[in-house]
Structure 1
Amino acid sequence: MNKIILHIGAHRTGTTSLQRFLRNNADLLTAGGIETLCPPESRHGKIADVVPDWLAQLADTASQRFLISEENLPGTMGHNIATGSLYPNAKENLGRLASLYKPDVVMMSVRELGEYWTSAILFSLARHETTLPSQGHLNAICSDKRSWRDVVADVQSVFPHARLVVREFAHLQDNPKRFLRLATGWDTWADAKLNRRAQNVRPDESAIVSALLERGDFGGLARLGDTKETQIFSRPQRQALFEIYQSDLDHLRKLLGASFLESRKRSEGAQVQSSRWRSDPAPARQDETVFLRIGRTGGRIVQSLASADAAKPDRLHLGNHDDTLISTINKFGRTRKLAFFFRDPVERFVSGFNARLRQGRPRHNVNWTTAEAVAFSLFRTPDALGEALSAQDDYLKSAARFSMASICHLKHDYVHYLHSPDAVRYEMDAGNLIICCETDRIDNNIRQITDALHLSTSIPVGTRENTAPIQSGDALSRLAVDNLKRFCPQEFEIYAACKMAAAELGFT
């Protein structure tokens, strides 16, 4: 009878579903004389110590059969990604265990290499355990000589007397119960309860996009495919990995001393698999258009135009001051169209300060928050606040920084709305940015603006609100301007990126 069964993964091949099945049926298995060890218990210390200690503790029990499932035994998924190689230290890692116990059966699963690497990278990316590999790193993965046959060879060299059972991922993918029964030969599995729900499934596009956005990795976002498949490998790269895998399958079919559980779907569907890699463009789709309401830039004119237009497009969304470049990607997807106005940061600082100083009057009447009331009790002019950012007095400087983070239009800065210069450039390069117009150029470009938003109405020039020019009494001193540039340099960097985008789009 097989006494010790060792299941070594691999990662992203349904291992977590198998382990969940074991945990859910632990009492039944124990009653049948089977003890199981799998995460999280298998990770309470070094695995080389955990397994022998676990077996020793069970030596005097009635249990006669033991099953260990730990996919990190041959190596970690993170190490695979970092090295661009498939379990390169498997022989060394497994060799540490060979002298401690002798498994009768070793179980493992393999997966088509393009699918494995994509799933591993995206799963780790969504969990913030890795970044999206560079194109050079992806090339290295595809050109690496190591494949599943090498991992299998390492396993057989470490455990030469064990029977090896290799399952293809697509075979019994949702049925770990049958896989275990075929691999172990134990009949105890017959009464075990099976939940076919997959665990730790590959993250969807929205999860990947959110992870990249949280890092501000707009370069990575730009490299994702245009389809919901979220492809990170090119078609030639995927084809190369697929062909290597087909060679691995041929090798496994002929392997001595091993049982290979092959998916008929995979072997019969190779041509279908290849057809998924066509480079045909995805069908055109209508994307949502979002107009960002960046405070104190004249965005109310668009609201007026849209309100007067009975035929306003359903796909045009007028954002509020909480909507941002990032939040609209998360809400509408990374191909949504984006429009906004922008303004010189110094002018916007003065305008925003004064608007909140008068509590939005005369058009609005929005009371100060408690923090704003404190800020305006300390600083009655925008120049006073700007100059205080470099005050020698620590209390005054601290009060200025507090005020910058408390006054609504000042804390809702370009970083809040547009994130970074890289984000603006990403939207431009992706073809998402349809309007990027400086406030003082709105009148000159009103027809282009209405055309881009598919609005049929227009209003006379010079009727914009919330964009009054700075009065001479509100002008900032050189010190205040320099302080703003030192205190919030990204505001000016984003402004410069917007200027470039506006010029490219023709909003001059």
Structure 2
Amino acid sequence: MTIVPFPTTPPRRATRSRGKAMDVILHIGAHRCATTSFQHYMRRNAEVLLRQGIGFWGPHRTRSGMFHGIAPGRISASKRRRRGAGRLAEALSSSTRRGVKRLVVSDENMLGTMRRNMAEAQLYPAAGERMAHFVQAFEGSVTDVILNIRALDHYWASSLGYGLKRGRGIPSPVALEWIASGERSWRDVITDIASAIPGTRLWVLPFEIFAGRPDAQLAAVTGGPAPGEHCRQWCNATPRLPELRAAMPPDLAAALPRGDARWNPFFPAQAAHMRAVYADDLMWLATGADGLARLVGDPDKKPAGQTLPRPELTRGRRNDQNRRLARAG
């Protein structure tokens, strides 16, 4: 299965909504898609970006109580939501007074949590409901939502490795098969999100193109130039096998494969199936995604000429793996 470059379709520059002093761009992850590296880059360049009229809120701010009461939960009282919306409105007003014209809010937990994904063995089952709450809380200021996606076998391997280091244990063969054969893919997540945010542009940035390139990602998000400083620092990568073994009890560590590669618990047939599903998702995005979202291609790739290549994107054909597809991490 070969993945070919997609046409470059960067988001158009955000224009302020009528009556709004500032546009809000929600960068919702997903997890294990170089989101932490992007957030680190944004924090390190915050002062430079502010001079360009670009503000940034990351998890250091959003998870310190700002979003409390906004996302749906087991206790979803209207009073808590009103308080959360009021707290958010005050923070937005503060950013506006500082001269921010476009605010990038990056927090992958807006989409959901890895813990729930693994508990239910599926991708972000409540993505639509959560995004509806967040967009509503911003009261019409959200112009764009940015989603990162990743090959399913690498996404799940990275998520499971992240959990393994935090004591969640090695998944059973039954659990792995449940994940590998799951019917929910990125297409379902995208459809749920788009249905929940009518009138808001939804952009999809593949990990295989934008990982390790937070400057290119910011340029795609804002439609303008991005600082080049601090853009090559990789944060929160999936631990390799030696690090995993060192963090686990000896009996569990002995169950891990030998070597120093990144851990991939899936059988080859399972991984191949998940990659085929991901290829179908990319094809759907490349052909318009039913008007629900736009795929952002590699900004360094020139558009194809009149004679197009013949991409091998048919499910089941696995000739040579594209070297750009990154390993789990």
* Separation in 2, partners of 1:52, 1:138: 43
Instruction: State yes or no: 1:80 paired with 2:113.
Output: no
Relative distance call for 1:31 and 1:46 in structure 2 (3 A) is closer
**Which residue number in structure 2 is paired with residue 161 of structure 1?**
199
What secondary structure sits across from 1:271 in the alignment?
Answer: coil
Higher RCO (C-alpha 8 Å, min separation 6)? 2
Contact 1:8 1:69 in 2 (8 A): yes
Instruction: State yes or no: 1:182 paired with 2:220.
Output: yes
User: How do 1:267-282 residues align onto structure 2 when only pairs under 5 Å count?
Assistant: 271-273=319-321
* Separation in 2, partners of 1:274, 1:68: 32
1:179 deviation in Å?
A: 1.5
* Separation in 1, partners of 2:101, 2:212: 28
* Separation in 2, partners of 1:34, 1:150: 31
User: How do 1:114-193 residues align onto structure 2 when only pairs under 5 Å count?
Assistant: 114-128=153-167, 130-187=168-225, 189=226, 191-193=227-229
* Separation in 2, partners of 1:27, 1:46: 22
* Separation in 2, partners of 1:268, 1:262: 18
1:212 deviation in Å?
A: 2.8
In structure 1, stretches of 5+ residues that fail to align are: 276-508
Give CA deviations for 1:73-114 in whole Å, capped at 9, x if unaligned. 010111111211100111111121122223111111110000
Contact 1:42 1:51 in 2 (8 A): no
Match of 2:248 among 193, 212, 217: 212
1:53 deviation in Å?
A: 4.2
1:17 deviation in Å?
A: 0.7
Give CA deviations for 1:36-67 in whole Å, capped at 9, x if unaligned. 10021110126233644421333433222111
* Separation in 2, partners of 1:164, 1:240: 27
**Which residue number in structure 2 is paired with residue 260 of structure 1?**
295
Contact 2:53 2:102 in 1 (8 A): yes
Contact 2:176 2:266 in 1 (8 A): yes
Percent identity of the aligned residues?
Answer: 30
Relative distance call for 1:136 and 1:182 in structure 2 (3 A) is same
Give CA deviations for 1:233-274 in whole Å, capped at 9, x if unaligned. 11111111111111111111121253313468xx88963339
Relative distance call for 1:274 and 1:185 in structure 2 (3 A) is closer
Relative distance call for 1:257 and 1:87 in structure 2 (3 A) is closer
Instruction: State yes or no: 1:33 paired with 2:66.
Output: no
* Separation in 2, partners of 1:253, 1:11: 22
* Separation in 2, partners of 1:36, 1:166: 20
**Which residue number in structure 1 is paired with residue 99 of structure 2?**
62
Match of 2:231 among 177, 195, 217: 195
> What is the identity, as a one-letter code, of the residue corresponding to 2:92?
L
Contact 1:109 1:167 in 2 (8 A): yes
- Report which of the two structures shows the higher radius of gyration computed on alpha carbons: 1
* Separation in 2, partners of 1:75, 1:257: 20
* Separation in 2, partners of 1:143, 1:19: 32
**Which residue number in structure 2 is paired with residue 110 of structure 1?**
149
**Which residue number in structure 1 is paired with residue 276 of structure 2?**
243
Contact 1:239 1:274 in 2 (8 A): no
* Separation in 1, partners of 2:101, 2:185: 35
What secondary structure sits across from 2:176 in the alignment?
Answer: helix
* Separation in 2, partners of 1:250, 1:143: 20
* Separation in 2, partners of 1:142, 1:148: 14
Give CA deviations for 1:250-304 in whole Å, capped at 9, x if unaligned. 111121253313468xx889633399xxxxxxxxxxxxxxxxxxxxxxxxxxxxx
* Separation in 1, partners of 2:92, 2:185: 32
Aligned residues: 266
Contact 1:175 1:194 in 2 (8 A): no
> What is the identity, as a one-letter code, of the residue corresponding to 1:142?
A
**Which residue number in structure 2 is paired with residue 451 of structure 1?**
none
Relative distance call for 1:51 and 1:225 in structure 2 (3 A) is farther
* Separation in 2, partners of 1:247, 1:137: 23
What TM-score do you get using the length of structure 1 for normalisation?
Answer: 0.49
* Separation in 1, partners of 2:322, 2:275: 8
Contact 1:21 1:194 in 2 (8 A): yes
User: How do 1:455-494 residues align onto structure 2 when only pairs under 5 Å count?
Assistant: none
Instruction: State yes or no: 1:92 paired with 2:129.
Output: yes
**Which residue number in structure 2 is paired with residue 330 of structure 1?**
none
> What is the identity, as a one-letter code, of the residue corresponding to 2:166?
R
Contact 1:171 1:261 in 2 (8 A): no
1:192 deviation in Å?
A: 4.8
Contact 2:32 2:159 in 1 (8 A): yes
In structure 2, stretches of 5+ residues that fail to align are: 1-13, 16-22, 71-83, 302-310, 324-329
What TM-score do you get using the length of structure 2 for normalisation?
Answer: 0.74
Contact 1:8 1:107 in 2 (8 A): yes
Contact 2:181 2:270 in 1 (8 A): no
* Separation in 1, partners of 2:211, 2:132: 29
Match of 1:10 among 5, 13, 30: 30
> What is the identity, as a one-letter code, of the residue corresponding to 2:222?
T
What secondary structure sits across from 2:132 in the alignment?
Answer: helix
Contact 1:123 1:202 in 2 (8 A): yes
